[in-house]
Amino acid sequence: MAQLTGFSNSKVSLAQSAPLPKKLDEGLVERLSQRITRLGNRELKTVISPFSGEVLDHIPLCTADDVREAARKAKAAQKTWAAWSFKARGDVFRRFHDLVLERQHEVLDLIQLEAGKARRDAFYEVMDVAVNARYYAYNAAKHLKPRRRRGVIPFLTQTWEYRQPKGVVGIIAAWNFPFIFAVSDAIPALMAGNAVIFKPDPETSFTALWAADLLYEAGLPADLYQVITGEGPELGPPLIENVDFIAFTGSTNTGRIIARQAADRLIGNLLELGGKNAKIIFADAPLERAVASALRGCFNGAGQICMSSERLFVESKIFDRFVRLFSERTRQLKLSTSLNYEFVVGSLISKQHLETVKAHVQDAVAKGAKVLAGGRHRPDIGPFFYEPTILTDVDKTMEVFAEETFGPVVSVYRFDSVDEVLKRVNDSPYGLNASIWTKDLKFARELATRIQAGTVNINDAYPATWGSVDSPLGGFKNSGLGVRHGADGIRQYTEAQTIATQHYHGVAAPAGFSEKRFSQIMTFALKILKHIPGLR
Ligand code: NAD
């Protein structure tokens, strides 16, 4: 909805060390309210702060008409934008990169308040957005510039591959990375010459609006990036109906719905979905580093990160030592609601999600699992806080065994052989991320190629692959379709177009040649071409 994003000079100025505000910055909300008025008083949805359980503010529930209007404006704006050079588009994102870093305290507060994250986790979002802005500002042209291709007849056919923007790209995303999902997929889409309409999760719309504001401040032309706020089942269908590509990040169930609707329209789609990620720790792993990384890999974002590890396989020889240290350190993790860097584990997003996490642990314990650390709801800190939790003796009968918990809960298993652990790691309908810990890097790289996951981190949890934005990132199996990052991450937002110019004579018998003679000459030519490097 263009109306929501057209405002400028937004100042979200929550003091970094201030006590937790119950409401969002009035300036931002006031501007938002004006837009709502202009929309004709849309129904409002109450947004709850996960830190306090109190009302944070309200967002308008956009309608299908709002989506159509946003698409109409986006389409018009895209035509001019597509004619901009890569250099001019890149200048917008170079300025955006600098603004994000300069004004990070504003968005850090906003992310914490909306998503209930620790500040450290919010800062990872700032880094990701800056890295993607920098990468595509400087590398989009390399990935998309017209390329000379080999012609059908050497020297006589001049063939070029062009990349044309799709038009309008729709993005629908989950709440767990409100800033990243608002911008990091939009950047390659915009750099490729498209307009973007973004539908955030209703829990985290304000960060998206702030991001829109900053994009316009960086010089993005009006209407090119629009935010529609509201519920997925209402806004998803009209959005897919009116865009030329849909990128989705969220649960596998919703991903299937999106894919079906995209198939009906024959539009491309990117699906970044759920996971049940495994970490393998071999006996020769550097123990201290492996434990420190397991703490981050399992409990960053209170476990609400698609690439978090929920299954930990530890070689029997070090199982007891590893588990003792991991449990001790887990119990020491500090939970809090303050807007500073003093704590490392934040809240779950909502009461509903808290219930899912509690149910997974209760089900496991009822069926015989042991709790080595955590396992308790912590309303004394905030209404949806849940302790980082380690389980052992988990088996197939328990929900937590194969289903994604998407919370701070990890099951630890022992293993004795490589073949055995590989089989257990791959025995999952998901294939998003994996991690291997060992000193034997050659062995680890070979093992990694046998793991069915889109990313495998050796001696790291997930930042090594996630932050390597020159390389693709996506899921195998039920974890998704398509990739973000790298060349593929921007080319997917384009149509491939081949333009070939034929000089002299084309692929047909010249005048005076019989078709039979022509076929004999061509057969001879094809045999020769196979032997000429550069032409085969
Ligand atoms: P979800 O699928 O319920 O919601 C995600 C988004 O889709 C929200 O904006 C929601 O409003 C919208 N939506 C819901 N129903 C819709 C419908 N019928 N049509 C159109 N849009 C609809 O996801 P969630 O459970 O809130 O998020 C957590 C999930 O996201 C986890 O499974 C997690 O692993 C996954 N995730 C994956 C990645 C990745 O990169 N692979 C990243 C983050 C989260």
The string of pLDDT tens digits covering residues 211-221 is 998 999 999 99
Paired residues of 476 in beta bridges: 431
Task: Tell me the residue type at 23.
Answer: K
Any atom of ligand 1 within 6 Å of the Cβ of 350 = no
Is residue 12's pLDDT more than 60? no
Distances (CA, A) of 109 to 27, 56, 380: 15, 13, 22
Confidence of residue 450 (pLDDT cuts 50, 70, 90): very high
Q: Would you state the pLDDT for residue 33?
A: 53
Counting from 1 in the atom list of ligand 1, the atom nearest the Cα of 177 is 43
Q: What is the dihedral of CA 399, 345, 199, 173, to 10 degrees?
A: -40
Task: Tell me the residue type at 121.
Answer: D
The Cα–Cα gap between 241 and 235 comes to 10
Beta strands in 190-308 (DSSP E): 195-199, 225-227, 245-249, 268-272, 277-281
Query: Ligand 1 centre from 199 Cα, in Å?
Result: 11
CB 274, CB 478: distance < 8 Å: yes
Residue of 69, 125, 272, 315 marked active site: 272
The DSSP code for 509 is P
CB 482, CB 492: distance < 8 Å: yes
Counting from 1 in the atom list of ligand 1, the atom nearest the Cα of 231 is 11
Query: Ligand 1 centre from 329 Cα, in Å?
Result: 31
Query: Ligand 1 centre from 250 Cα, in Å?
Result: 2
Structure tokens, 63: 């309608």
Query: Ligand 1 centre from 418 Cα, in Å?
Result: 34
Q: Would you state the pLDDT for residue 304?
A: 98
Confidence of residue 536 (pLDDT cuts 50, 70, 90): confident
Probe residue for ligand 1, chosen from 124, 179, 201, 256 as the CB with the greatest number of ligand atoms within 8 Å: 201
Q: What's the average model confidence in pLDDT over 69-74?
A: 94
Is residue 28's pLDDT more than 70? no
The Cα–Cα gap between 175 and 181 comes to 8
Q: Would you state the pLDDT for residue 219?
A: 97
Lowest mean pLDDT among 19-23, 40-44, 459-463: 19-23
Q: What's the average model confidence in pLDDT over 471-490?
A: 98
CB 123, CB 463: distance < 8 Å: no
The Cα–Cα gap between 258 and 239 comes to 10
Distances (CA, A) of 479 to 205, 430, 433, 445: 25, 5, 9, 22
The Cα–Cα gap between 435 and 410 comes to 14
Query: Ligand 1 centre from 309 Cα, in Å?
Result: 18
The Cα–Cα gap between 156 and 196 comes to 41
Q: Would you state the pLDDT for residue 141?
A: 98
Is residue 224's pLDDT more than 90? yes
CA atoms within 13 A on the CB side of 14: 26
Q: What's the average model confidence in pLDDT over 408-428?
A: 98
Q: Would you state the pLDDT for residue 29?
A: 61
Distances (CA, A) of 74 to 87, 225, 285, 309, 438: 21, 7, 52, 39, 50
Is residue 194's pLDDT more than 50? yes
The Cα–Cα gap between 94 and 191 comes to 11
Counting from 1 in the atom list of ligand 1, the atom nearest the Cα of 484 is 40
Any atom of ligand 1 within 6 Å of the Cβ of 188 = no
At which residue do the structure tokens 């003091």 appear? Answer: 15
The Cα–Cα gap between 102 and 171 comes to 26
What's the chain's average pLDDT? 93
Residue of 69, 114, 306, 387 marked active site: 306
Q: Would you state the pLDDT for residue 20?
A: 45
Distances (CA, A) of 356 to 7, 361, 369: 38, 9, 17
Q: Pinpoint the alpha helices (H) of 9-116.
A: 26-39, 64-81, 86-102, 104-115
Distances (CA, A) of 142 to 161, 189, 264, 267, 456: 13, 15, 33, 25, 26
Any atom of ligand 1 within 6 Å of the Cβ of 257 = yes
Any atom of ligand 1 within 6 Å of the Cβ of 475 = yes
Q: Which residues contact 267 (CB under 8 A, 6 or more apart)?
A: 240, 243, 244, 245, 246
Determine how many CB atoms are found less than 10 A away from the CB of residue 179: 26
The Cα–Cα gap between 79 and 81 comes to 6
Is residue 38's pLDDT more than 90? no
What are the tens digits of pLDDT across the range 247-295? 999 999 999 999 999 999 999 999 999 999 999 999 999 999 999 999 9
The DSSP code for 335 is B
Q: What's the average model confidence in pLDDT over 185-194?
A: 98
Any atom of ligand 1 within 6 Å of the Cβ of 254 = yes
At which residue do the structure tokens 């899912």 appear? Answer: 356
Q: Would you state the pLDDT for residue 241?
A: 98
Q: Would you state the pLDDT for residue 30?
A: 63
Q: What's the average model confidence in pLDDT over 398-420?
A: 98
Q: Would you state the pLDDT for residue 14?
A: 30
The answer to whether residue 298 is catalytic is no
Is residue 36's pLDDT more than 70? no
> What is this structure's pTM?
0.94
Q: Would you state the pLDDT for residue 424?
A: 98
Query: Ligand 1 centre from 206 Cα, in Å?
Result: 17
Is residue 31's pLDDT more than 70? no
